[in-house]
A and B are shown apart, each in its own frame.
Chain A
Amino acid sequence: MRVLGVAGSLRRDSHNGRLLRAAAQLLAPEAQLVQFNGLKAIPPFDEDDEANPGPAVDRWRTEIAKADALLFATPEYNSSIPGVLKNAVDWASRPFVSAALRNKPAAVIGASTGMFGAVWAQAELRKALAAAGARVIDRELPVAEVEHAFAVDGTLAEHDQQLALSEILAELLAESAERDTRIAA
């Protein structure tokens, strides 16, 4: 099972990139997390470019299509999700009937240096993904004050958060497995 991890921050040492790596350590053995690194290359959405959106958008859509499930880790900018992330969601939502995101199982987690753990951004991202037709897990993981959140081995230091992340991943994989069964039937 292939899980595509998408960090909403472009920064090289992104906290949300670390959060994805922490998630990768918790995945069941049959699952593999592949981190998408092409967010910065995706051009601004423009309906005029839809006929030929270019290689960055093609790659983004292909990576989503290849994945069995999506795991987004988002920071919070001005109480919402980063523009680059919303832009990528918009590209992957079009055309709606055959969109890459349509029916794709997806979960959202997030981290911030503040005390709220990107909780509003996570809600906004879940809303946008659902509007795009994704099969969104109705769970959140707000990791606050993230510079203190990780243990030396890269896992989440707090047991409750580690447990919550495990549960979200289990739910995501179960959703994906159920979908595979349904499609095969």
Chain B
Amino acid sequence: MSATALDTRAKLPVGSWKVDPTHSTASFAVKHMVVATFRGSFEKIDATLSVGEDGAGQLVGVVDAGSIAVKDENLQAHLGSPDFFDTERYPELRFASTAIRRDGEQLAIDGELTIKDHTNPVQARGTITDPHETLGGAVKIGVTLETVIDRTQFGLEWNAPLPKGGFALANDVKLTVELELAQDSE
């Protein structure tokens, strides 16, 4: 493999890449009742990766907090209440990258995540694909990212002690986004 090829694989694809919300997901996983992993997701997400000719890029994302989806409607409503995301007061979760590094398919992103007006730095790791022409000539890339946050640093402090010790919810929450991004021709 030539040095030139290696260099290309370290660069982000130039252009503006808009999320295809139907084929993208933002989800979370948290240890529940000490023993198991509980997962949920957000139905409405928006994200754009903007990469200049110099290769510098920024990823910004917005999640509609009220679009949280779990398997029980009462739990869903509780997660939207002031006990958790307080969606009436804080309708969005936001992310903005401050640095993006690519090494082949590997992606490392530093950024700031805002939940309930609490903004904290996060580091996410994941993958990125090269652009690929798909149906109708649409050029797309795929980005996956994963990070673990301490939810209590973002104002998500609800918990309940268990009778034999431990708590209903862990503080560490794994966040995962899987994005299908289309080249914005405008």
Contacts and interface: CB of A to CB of B under 8 A. Distances in A.
B82 A130 contact: yes
A51 interface: no
Given A103-B88, A182-B88, A182-B89, A96 B73 contact: yes
Given A103-B88, A182-B88, A182-B89, A133 B73 contact: no
Contacts of B83: 130-131, 133
B89 A102 contact: no
B82 A96 contact: no
Nearest to B73: A97
B77 interface: yes
Contacts of B73: 96-97
Interface string B75-86: 011100111000
Contacts of A96: 73-74, 77-78
A123 to B, nearest CB: 13
A136 interface: yes
Interface in B30-82: 73-74, 76-78, 81-82
A133 B81 contact: yes
Interface string A77-121: 000000000000000000011010011000000000000000000
Interface in A129-162: 130-131, 133-136
A120 to B, nearest CB: 15
A109 to B, nearest CB: 19
A133 B89 contact: no
Given A96-B73, A182-B89, A131 B78 contact: yes
B73 to A, nearest CB: 6
Given A182-B88, A182-B89, A135 B77 contact: no
A154 to B, nearest CB: 32
Interface in B74-127: 74, 76-78, 81-83, 88-89
Contacts of B74: 96
A159 B143 CA distance: 61
Contacts of B88: 103, 179, 182-183
A182 B76 CA distance: 22
Contacts of B89: 182
B85 to A, nearest CB: 12
A130 B81 contact: yes
B140 to A, nearest CB: 36
Contacts of A133: 77-78, 81-83
Interface in A22-46: none
A96 B80 CA distance: 11
Contacts of A131: 78, 83
Interface of A: 96-97, 99, 102-103, 130-131, 133-136, 179, 182-183
22 contacts: A96-B73, A97-B76, A97-B77, A102-B77, A103-B81, A103-B82, A103-B88, A130-B81, A130-B82, A130-B83, A131-B78, A133-B77, A133-B78, A133-B81, A133-B82, A133-B83, A135-B82, A136-B82, A179-B88, A182-B88, A182-B89, A183-B88
Given A99-B77, A133-B82, 11 more contacts: A96-B73, A96-B77, A97-B73, A97-B76, A103-B88, A130-B81, A131-B78, A133-B77, A133-B81, A134-B82, A182-B88
Q: Which 3 A-B pairs have the closest CB atoms?
A: A133-B81, A96-B77, A96-B74
